[in-house]
Structure 1
Amino acid sequence: MFKKFLSKIGIGSASVNLILEDASGRIGEKVVGRILVEGGAVDQKIDAIDVDFILEARLGDKTARTTIETIAVARDLHVPSGKQVEYPFAHQLPELPISSQYVRYTYHTRLDIPEAIDKHDFDQFYVQPSLPVATAIGAFHALGFYDKHDSGVFNGRYQEFEYAPLSGSESGPFAGRIDELTVVYLAEEDGVRLHIELDKTTKGLFGALADKLDLDESHFTLFLSYQSLQDSDATLQTIRRSLEAELNNPNPSRYPTLPKAHPHGQHKHRGGGAGSGLLGGIAGGIAGYAIGEALFGDDDSEQTADGGIIDDLGDFFGEDD
């Protein structure tokens, strides 16, 4: 009797552990593993085993968190005292922002024990880009660009990657000609569209004035088909020619090809929740991330203290009316 009481307050109760075959995975691929439930000091009924896949994004001095998906593993099970029960785990990674210093993912495994303290397990997970996007990213690196400190910021609608050219012996063909590149990779049905902001290197008094007035910037897009992205050398040459053409463009576009996000603006909520299914919900076709309506849930609660956690990315980042 005393053991049953202790199990209800979490002492000697059943425990849960998610064991993944790999702590990282690519977008579009399947994450696999197993869930171990260790019986406690007494036999226990378990109502459910669920795993939440959680995205946490940092923008400025705020952090937002949302559950991308909940994977139902088991229902209504009995765990004998001292015994171990094992369940297979599988999760298909949807289109997502990739992991960076600003974007983190966690698998939160929950053991729902009736009339007792639930048990939890947390596993960090690293989301890598899909192979086509990885090929494009690799091409920029091969052309002598490195990721700047602020690369990988996710503003709630799309993820920006900032590159600068290497100098010295490792410099590529654009050192001294390009100060910075900002690239957004958007997966489409037939390929990946790159939205690129290019900052030219300018010198002297005119260069300083051009930099202040953003006259050294140009904005353009480049579409890479999935077929072409199967050839890394061809991808590199396509990107190189595109950058060269833009550097020599006498009338570059000064207008961004992506709409600005409004991280602190007012917005209308969309209905639905974590069970509403996956859609190209962030920015409705702007980013194409299949994150789901949980991002724009109906919960109007919002914590605005600096450095606080806000549990709805829609509330935090905002949505255009």
Structure 2
Amino acid sequence: MFKKILASVGIGAAKVDTVLQTEHLHPGQKFHAEIIINGGDVEQDISGLELALMTRVKVESEDGHYFTNHVIQKWRISEQLTIAPGDEVRIPFEARLHSETPITELHAGYNQTQVWIQTGLNIDLALDASDRDILHIYPNEAIKTCMQAMDKLGFNLAKADVEKGYLRAPSFQSTSGCYQELEYRPNRGGLFGIQEVELSFVPETHQTHVLIELDRAFRSDGYIDLTIEHDHVNLSQICDQLERLIH
């Protein structure tokens, strides 16, 4: 009985570990994993198992801003099982990352972007055991080329973070409840009066939408957008498009 009481507060309870085939992924990519559950000191009934794709988001408030964890998507494995003390259960798992998963692998002066997979056991009469696996998320070809174009146009990626909310434009809308902002600043002064350019991306299967926020001196902020077709990614063309839009 004493061991059951301890397990109910997480001491000696079952533990879970998700082992990913690779932690290096792209938004929208399928991934494979194995979920390993190790029994604790007493027999426990596990009524469910959840995996969640998580990120850290900035939330604006009247008192400024703060950061909190955000669930981008969640997968539930409804399998119920009883795990005996010392037993090990292995469950294969595969899923696809949300296409709007924020990019973590950026050469930014200040990168606040974090993405991970969190695994939790729903154990009757016990605290959830949880496991966190950090992901390294790389840009798709359209986003990578867009970032190269900004470099060529004389802008430096100063900061990257993820904000809570949705992006909306006439031709697209985000769905994940958060969006990443890449904050660019001109290398030399303010080109064409531009003090800052913020890029946000909404990737889809065959195209990536780009929302651009321009901060110009002596003028209010303005928003423009463009769409890059994945089978027509061309650095010089994207350079020309961005240059026309930013000017």
- Label 1:99 to 1:196 Cα distance change in 2 as closer, same or farther (>3 A): closer
> AA paired with 2:116?
T
2-side partners of 1:244 and 1:5: how far apart?
Answer: 65
> AA paired with 2:218?
K
Q: State the partner residue of 2:218.
A: 212
Superimposed CA distance per residue, residues 241-264 of structure 1 (whole angstroms, 9 cap, x where no aligned partner): 2344457x6xxxxxxxxxxxxxxx
Superimposed CA distance per residue, residues 77-126 of structure 1 (whole angstroms, 9 cap, x where no aligned partner): 12232122111232311122514545433322222222333322233334
2-side partners of 1:64 and 1:56: how far apart?
Answer: 6
Query: Alpha-carbon deviation of 1:220?
Result: 4.1
- Label 1:192 to 1:49 Cα distance change in 2 as closer, same or farther (>3 A): closer
Superimposed CA distance per residue, residues 205-248 of structure 1 (whole angstroms, 9 cap, x where no aligned partner): xxxxxx2245xx7754433221112xxxxx2211222344457x
Q: State the partner residue of 1:50.
A: 50
Query: Alpha-carbon deviation of 1:27?
Result: 0.8
- Label 1:45 to 1:221 Cα distance change in 2 as closer, same or farther (>3 A): closer
Q: State the partner residue of 1:77.
A: 81
Q: For the aligned residues, what is the CA RMSD?
A: 3.2
Contact 1:192 1:224 in 2 (8 A): yes
2-side partners of 1:44 and 1:65: how far apart?
Answer: 29
**Amino-acid identity (%):** 26
Q: State the partner residue of 1:87.
A: 91
Contact 2:102 2:162 in 1 (8 A): no
Q: State the partner residue of 1:156.
A: 165
Q: State the partner residue of 1:291.
A: none
Q: State the partner residue of 1:236.
A: 235
Q: Whose strand fraction is larger, Structure 1's or Structure 2's?
A: 2
> AA paired with 1:8?
S
Q: State the partner residue of 1:191.
A: 207
Q: Whose helix fraction is larger, Structure 1's or Structure 2's?
A: 1
> AA paired with 2:143?
V
1-side partners of 2:209 and 2:52: how far apart?
Answer: 30
2-side partners of 1:244 and 1:7: how far apart?
Answer: 61
2-side partners of 1:175 and 1:45: how far apart?
Answer: 62
2-side partners of 1:21 and 1:190: how far apart?
Answer: 26
Gaps of 5+ in 1: 168-173, 201-210, 230-234, 250-321
State the secondary structure of the residue aligned to 1:240: helix
Contact 2:184 2:197 in 1 (8 A): yes
Q: State the partner residue of 2:30.
A: 30
Contact 1:8 1:115 in 2 (8 A): yes
Structure number, greater radius of gyration: 1
Contact 1:58 1:103 in 2 (8 A): no
Contact 1:102 1:154 in 2 (8 A): no
- Label 1:49 to 1:223 Cα distance change in 2 as closer, same or farther (>3 A): closer
- Which of the residues 145, 153, 161 maps onto 2:155? 145
Q: 2:135 matched to 1:132? A: no
Matches within 5 A, 1:53-68: 53-59=53-59, 60-68=64-72
Query: Alpha-carbon deviation of 1:143?
Result: 4.5
Superimposed CA distance per residue, residues 6-26 of structure 1 (whole angstroms, 9 cap, x where no aligned partner): 433433222111222333421
2-side partners of 1:153 and 1:7: how far apart?
Answer: 37
Contact 1:54 1:107 in 2 (8 A): yes
State the secondary structure of the residue aligned to 2:95: strand
Contact 1:28 1:130 in 2 (8 A): no
- Which of the residues 151, 172, 182 maps onto 2:198? 182
2-side partners of 1:192 and 1:224: how far apart?
Answer: 5
